[in-house]
Amino acid sequence: MSGSLTGAALLRDATANRGTAFSEAERDALGLRGLLPPAVETPERQVARVIDNLKRQASDLDRYCWLMALRERSELLFQRALLDHLAELLPLVYTPTVGQACQQFGRIFQAPRGLYVTARDRGRVRELLRRWPAGPVRAIVVTDGSRILGLGDLGANGMGIPIGKLDLYSACGGIAPGSCLPVMLDVGTDNATLRDDPFYLGLRQPRLQDDDYDALLEEFVSAVQECFPGVLLQFEDFSNRHAFALLARYRERLCCFNDDIQGTGAMGLAAVNSALRITGGKLTGQRLLFVGAGEAALGIATMVKAAMVAQGLSLEQARERCWLLDTQGLLVAGRPGLPAHKQPHAQPRAPLADLEQAISVLQPTVLIGASGMGQLFSQPVLHALARHCERPVVFALSNPTAKAECSAQQAYEWTEGRAIFAAGSPFAPVELAGRTLVPGQANNAYIFPGVGLGLLASGATRVSDAMFFAAAAALAAQVKDADLASGRIFPGQDRLREVALAVAVAVATTAWRDGLATQPRPDDPELAILASMYRPGYPACAA
């Protein structure tokens, strides 16, 4: 309960309000009688009303708005509905609808949420952070809005992403919403359409560059360390112009990680390993072709190569099995202007210009799209893949749905139902030749909530690569034979909380093993972490 609030003030406090679930006794003790309709309802009945209302909305964006408005009335009911209907509501608070919400952010804006630190706040960032009213902050998700899903630079509209990611921290990772802080670093936007949009809510100026950008980031991270000691900082949807450099700069300074590089890396490694349980192949025998050579692709390629090396290949041999293609063609050594983050992935061979040619020549067994470009996996591309590979693995990781490199229907149809398909955004099962094929959702949502929980449970001071390998193994171990039998390489979204617990135990165990923890190791880590997880319960009021 929020302090000693009573009466109308209590009903207006979103963190404390339970609406019609206040009991008869609470209504008397808290001065609520007369301010509520007489029915006393169970949380289940309240959630049923939420679902009923959502069904009656005209569009998913309307459903998103309805849920955000609900949260302004009762955070508890919002969280309860999300937890009880995770698979159903995930596509609303997360991809794909959150993408639309970000695009329309200024139009659908109802109430501020989270913290805005802007280019104009140089010199007073600490002051802003100290202004945050909610309880002790344990987890921050921060973006600068420069690469929101596959939608590009959305400036301050990108705030929908940290909000959505933190909803999953609570619903899946069991981290209390009151200790989660979404942050928008508004450094301007290079999206001229947005800057001209009358409803745009961010700074109408070009993005800060170079030293000015770095100085604001430095001030922000220092202020975070000072104001919220021990906090976990997740970098999200920064463009690759800064993402790799920021990770390198800060990973040894505080407990932080980049979800798009590292979280996606762990998810991708687990996804490939799960798919191989269907094909019966070995990781060291695969040839992977990534379309895209940015954060997601390089995050996965780095982890896959390390896993191949751990299984006996030399780094050189592992490198020869992972090919990357970007807007300039295949990543080959000696290509002029290769940025530092791409260099370790370039291959000493003649360039190949296009995807179809690359497939014919390299004959990949695993094709991974992380390009942010919808429909790149055309019919000829998937035909070429299926020609040389009996069970091709096809991951269309780009979000939201319209940016997927192909749909589930296309992946199955164009490979005669032989593909093992998963996508970043959810796709419905596909009926083909009398079979029902169930695509998995290959999204870092299967990793980051558990990583966050494990880091906080162990009080980790730093986030290590070993933690992401442990997270990948824990996720892969959660995949059941029944999932694979339907073609789905990950557990259903309704099991995301269970998955997060398993990932958290693996991450925390790594922190305890490697001397990165500040919290004592409990006798039974799984039981202790489970007990620590937030549940949107309705305890009796201290009346």
Ligand X SMILES: NC(=O)C1=CN([C@@H]2O[C@H](COP(=O)(O)OP(=O)(O)OC[C@H]3O[C@@H](n4cnc5c(N)ncnc54)[C@H](OP(=O)(O)O)[C@@H]3O)[C@@H](O)[C@H]2O)C=CC1
Give the binding site for ligand X (CB under 6 A).
Answer: 147, 149-150, 240, 260, 264, 267, 291-297, 325-328, 370-373, 376, 397-399, 403, 424, 442-444
Residue from 55, 116, 165, 403 carrying the catalytic annotation:
165
Residues 6+ apart with CB under 8 A from 302: 265, 344
Which of the listed partners (ligand X, ligand CC(=O)C(=O)O, Mg ion, none) does 325 bind, with a CB threshold of 5 to 8 Å by partner kind? ligand X
Dig out the tokens for 323 from the structure: 């090919």
Report the candidate in 393, 234, 389, 212 with the shortest Cα–Cα distance to residue 300. 393
469 and 305 Cβ atoms separated by less than 8 Å: no
322 and 290 Cβ atoms separated by less than 8 Å: yes
Edge-to-edge strand ranges of the sheet holding 180-186: 115-118, 180-186, 139-143, 232-235, 256-258
**Residue ranges that bind Mg ion, judged by CB under 5 A:** 237, 260
Q: What are the φ and ψ backbone dihedral angles of 234, each rounded to 5 degrees?
A: -110, 120
Q: Please return the burial class of 448, using the count of CB atoms within 10 Å of its CB with bins 0-12, 13-18 and 19+.
A: buried
- Judge whether 236 is annotated as a binding position: yes
**For residues 519 and 457, what is the distance between their CA atoms, to the nearest angstrom?**
7
Q: Kindly tell me which of 290 and 323 has the beta carbon lying closer to Mg ion.
A: 290
SS3 call for 349: coil
Dig out the tokens for 454 from the structure: 């494990």
Q: Kindly tell me which of 144 and 260 has the beta carbon lying closer to ligand CC(=O)C(=O)O.
A: 260
DSSP conformation letters of 98-157: HHHHHHTHHHH--S--SEEEEGGGTT-HHHHHHT--SS---EEEEE-SSS-TTS---GGG
Residue with tokens 């596509």: 91
Least separation, in Å, of the C-beta of 424 and ligand CC(=O)C(=O)O? 6
**For residues 172 and 494, what is the distance between their CA atoms, to the nearest angstrom?**
10
Which of the listed partners (ligand CC(=O)C(=O)O, ligand X, Mg ion, none) does 292 bind, with a CB threshold of 5 to 8 Å by partner kind? ligand X
C-alpha dist (Å) from residue 237 to 51, 317, 381: 30, 32, 28
Which of the listed partners (ligand X, Mg ion, ligand CC(=O)C(=O)O, none) does 452 bind, with a CB threshold of 5 to 8 Å by partner kind? none
Q: Kindly tell me which of 200 and 244 has the beta carbon lying closer to ligand X.
A: 244
Which of the listed partners (ligand CC(=O)C(=O)O, Mg ion, ligand X, none) does 102 bind, with a CB threshold of 5 to 8 Å by partner kind? none
- Judge whether 260 is annotated as a binding position: yes
Does the annotation mark 94 as catalytic? yes
Does the annotation mark 165 as catalytic? yes
**For residues 469 and 302, what is the distance between their CA atoms, to the nearest angstrom?**
11
Q: Kindly tell me which of 402 and 466 has the beta carbon lying closer to ligand X.
A: 402
Which of the listed partners (ligand CC(=O)C(=O)O, ligand X, Mg ion, none) does 67 bind, with a CB threshold of 5 to 8 Å by partner kind? none
Residues 6+ apart with CB under 8 A from 405: 291, 369, 371, 373, 374, 375, 376, 377, 396, 397, 398
- Judge whether 399 is annotated as a binding position: yes
Least separation, in Å, of the C-beta of 399 and ligand CC(=O)C(=O)O? 4
Least separation, in Å, of the C-beta of 207 and ligand X? 15
**For residues 311 and 290, what is the distance between their CA atoms, to the nearest angstrom?**
21
**Residue ranges that bind ligand CC(=O)C(=O)O, judged by CB under 6 A:** 149, 237, 259-260, 399, 424, 443-444
Q: Kindly tell me which of 239 and 415 has the beta carbon lying closer to ligand CC(=O)C(=O)O.
A: 239
Least separation, in Å, of the C-beta of 28 and ligand X? 50
- Judge whether 240 is annotated as a binding position: no
Least separation, in Å, of the C-beta of 444 and ligand CC(=O)C(=O)O? 5
367 and 291 Cβ atoms separated by less than 8 Å: yes
C-alpha dist (Å) from residue 348 to 353, 429, 459: 15, 41, 43
Q: Kindly tell me which of 46 and 399 has the beta carbon lying closer to Mg ion.
A: 399
Least separation, in Å, of the C-beta of 27 and ligand CC(=O)C(=O)O? 43
Q: Kindly tell me which of 167 and 260 has the beta carbon lying closer to Mg ion.
A: 260
Least separation, in Å, of the C-beta of 257 and Mg ion? 12
Residue from 64, 94, 200, 213 carrying the catalytic annotation:
94
- Judge whether 218 is annotated as a binding position: no
Which of the listed partners (Mg ion, ligand CC(=O)C(=O)O, ligand X, none) does 291 bind, with a CB threshold of 5 to 8 Å by partner kind? ligand X
Which of the listed partners (ligand X, ligand CC(=O)C(=O)O, Mg ion, none) does 240 bind, with a CB threshold of 5 to 8 Å by partner kind? ligand X
Binding residues: 147, 236-237, 260, 399, 443
Binding residues for (S)-malate: 147, 399, 443
Binding residues for a divalent metal cation: 236-237, 260
- Provide the annotated active-site residues: 94, 165
